Amino acid sequence: MTDLKEVFEARRSVNFFDKQKGLDEQVLQNIINLATLAPSAFNLQPWQIIAVKTDEAKKRLYPLASNQPKILDAPVTLIIIGDRAGYEKDNPAWSDLEKMLGNKEALEKTQQFAYALYGTTPERKIKFAESNAGLLAASIMYAAKYFGVESHAMSGIDFEGIHKEFKLGTDKEVVMLIALGYFDESKTLYPRRFRKNFKDMVQVV
């Protein structure tokens, strides 16, 4: 599937995954590597992913994801994580920006600007982490469809419980889960439901 419009129209949230069909490691890497072309603030890419693949890890995640069967059935579930401190100077993405800007003074001004935008309140830090990780998550689902892989995003989860169970750092924010795999053909995929269009949701001012 190579046409962008076709990818958008074909992507669905699949509830039933084929338990007998695994997801090749190279395909998973291809999906993630393509999705990392997603936009991010200052190209800081303040995100991280935990790929839950083993039966042991799935069993740990299952009760923290509202006991949704797809956690156990899908070959992989991704924990999408945003970094609330991703704007700080130790982010290696700043080194790349310094090369582009050509001098340290310009870099420091940009870093100060980023801090003013994202680091002054807890709410701004959370928005920074969640909005950027959300861009990655959407890109993952479309990249998956490009490679013939189905997906389902989940936000009805125990965010704090997942954070604790998978021993995430203080500044890490669990944003959502994404199950990846192949549709169970013995099940029925419901027709696409109502979608808002331009007239329904856009206010032109």
User: For the segment 112-139, what is each residue's pLDDT rounded down to a tens digit?
Assistant: 999 999 999 999 999 999 999 999 999 9
Fold of 4-201: NADH Oxidase (3.40.109)
Q: Six-digit token pair at 99? A: 């090369």
The pTM for the full model equals 0.94
Q: Six-digit token pair at 31? A: 């999906």
CB-facing half-sphere around the CA of 39: CA atoms within 13 A: 2
Give the CA distances from residue 158 to residues 104, 137, 176, in Å, rounded to whole numbers and listed in that order.
42, 18, 10
Give the CA distances from residue 96 to residues 102, 117, 119, 169, 204, in Å, rounded to whole numbers and listed in that order.
10, 20, 21, 25, 38
Give the list of residues 6+ apart from residue 94 with CB closer than 8 angstroms, or none: 44, 107, 111
> How do residues 196-205 score in pLDDT, each as one tens digit?
999 999 999 9
How are beta strands 76-83 and 150-154 bridged, if at all?
Answer: unpaired
